[in-house]
Amino acid sequence: MATAALPPAPSSSLFRTRLRGAGLAIVGLVVAGLAVRQSLSFSVNSPPVVSPHASAVSTPAVQRESGVGALGRLEPGWKIFKISPSSGAEGSRVTHLQIREGELIEKEAVMAILDTYPKRQASVAEAKAQVAICQARLKLVEAGPKPSEVAAQAALIAKHTATVQHAQTTLNRSRKLREANTGSAEDYEFRFMELQTSQSLLDQARNTLVAMETIRPDDIAVATAELQKAEASLARANAELDAAQIVAPISGRVLKIHAREGERVGDQGLAELGDTNHMQAVAEVYERDAARVKLGQRAIVKVQSLAEELTGEVVQVGWMVGRQEVFDNDPIRDTDARVVEVRILLDGPSSARVAGLSYARIEVSINTGEVR
């Protein structure tokens, strides 16, 4: 029986070409499916992309209707003071620390005494003594001689006057004897020299009395200059004594102590001091939004550790543009943004609530449509 003829088998090259085309088609379908799945997943689960140059208003956490949002920090008063020794202090080792962290101190209160204080105290005492000496010397020059000194000099003048008179009488007698050829020339010459010597001593005593009674302007000028020099030395000694102790420049609260007794004051200073009775929020407003912020506008401040919102008023808009220092957790946020610092004075209750949270990170919303 005859068998049906089978179709001829395809050549091997044609078979490989068809197989390769089918494989590429399958791979294309798989890649397209994965791309669609990834697109759908991104659109559902991923947050919207924010432009790196978007302003703080676009931050959902701080966005308020008709307002400007920003991140920032809390500060006491107008700033935190870093207290350090005066530049004139030779030593900076603390010997007596007179403050505690958290306590309130008044302006000009002594916070610490340094190791050079005893030496400076001695210098002040020495300078005061020198001033007293110069003051007494000036008074003596201005007052002239003592009455007892004048009386003694007058008595000396009277004595020399009597001596001169006696010498004159003796000389006159010697002259008459010589004229009568009964006296010697040697005796006459001796009596003459005796009169001259007595007269010289009398003139000297009279000149001394005149000098004693005369107050010369030059003497007063010299004594005055010496007194001024002594007073300048005393002022320098007092300044060095002041530099040997650290005083509070303002009334405020001691926030942090960096140097204890026996330690040297380093780059961080002795302590940090701030006016926590008037807390402020420092908002870093993006440069593009700074023109919308005005003095007197109301603001709402949110601190992460507090449930309630704080309130305050804009009291200062900065005059300089700087780099942003406070950032959120968005990894694609611009970290080189340019901002303007805006200070917000917190209301009394809000200020008291955050008195112990200096430098805390905050979120601020400024109502640009409300001005007091």
Exposed, middle or buried: residue 107 (CB in 10 Å: 0-12, 13-18, 19+)? exposed
Residue 345 confidence (pLDDT): 94
pLDDT class of 59 with cuts at 50, 70, 90: very low
More confidently predicted of 48 and 23 = 23
Q: Are strands 81-83 and 271-274 parallel, antiparallel or unpaired?
A: antiparallel
Structural tokens at position 198: 């007595």
Distances (CA, A) of 321 to 129, 309, 340, 341: 56, 28, 5, 8
d(C-alpha 266, C-alpha 259), whole Å? 8
Distances (CA, A) of 145 to 11, 88, 133, 134, 155: 146, 45, 18, 17, 15
d(C-alpha 70, C-alpha 93), whole Å? 43
| Helix, strand, coil share (%) of the chain residues, nearest 5 | 45, 25, 35
User: Per CATH, the architecture of 56-78+275-371 is what?
Assistant: Beta Barrel (2.40)
57 near 289, Cβ under 8 Å?
Answer: yes
Residue 39 confidence (pLDDT): 43
Least reliable range by pLDDT among 15-29, 99-113, 127-141, 199-213: 15-29
User: What one-character DSSP code corresponds to residue 128?
Assistant: H
d(C-alpha 86, C-alpha 370), whole Å? 45
d(C-alpha 361, C-alpha 71), whole Å? 7
pLDDT class of 73 with cuts at 50, 70, 90: very high
Name which CATH class applies to 81-116+248-272. Answer: mainly beta
Q: Is the dihedral of CA 136, 137, 138, 142 positive or negative?
A: positive
Residue 309 confidence (pLDDT): 92
Q: Where are the domains of the chain?
A: 56-78+275-371, 81-116+248-272, 123-239
56 pLDDT above the threshold of 70: no
More confidently predicted of 183 and 250 = 250
Residue 28 confidence (pLDDT): 57
Structural tokens at position 39: 């697109």
Output the average pLDDT for the chain.
Answer: 80
Residue 212 confidence (pLDDT): 74
* 302-344 confidence digits (pLDDT tens): 998 888 899 999 999 999 888 887 776 555 555 668 899 999 9
pLDDT class of 79 with cuts at 50, 70, 90: confident
d(C-alpha 176, C-alpha 312), whole Å? 119
46 pLDDT above the threshold of 50: no
307 near 241, Cβ under 8 Å?
Answer: no
Structural tokens at position 114: 């340094």
Residue 151 confidence (pLDDT): 83
* 245-292 confidence digits (pLDDT tens): 999 998 989 999 999 999 988 888 899 999 888 999 999 999 999 999
Mean pLDDT confidence for 195-220:
86
Structural tokens at position 60: 């959902």
Helices 185-213, 147-179: inter-axial angle, 10-degree rounding: 160
Mean pLDDT confidence for 73-82:
87
More confidently predicted of 227 and 41 = 227
Return the number of other C-beta atoms located less than 10 Å from residue 2's C-beta: 4
Query: Quick check: do 56-78+275-371 and 81-116+248-272 share a fold?
Result: no
55 pLDDT above the threshold of 50: no
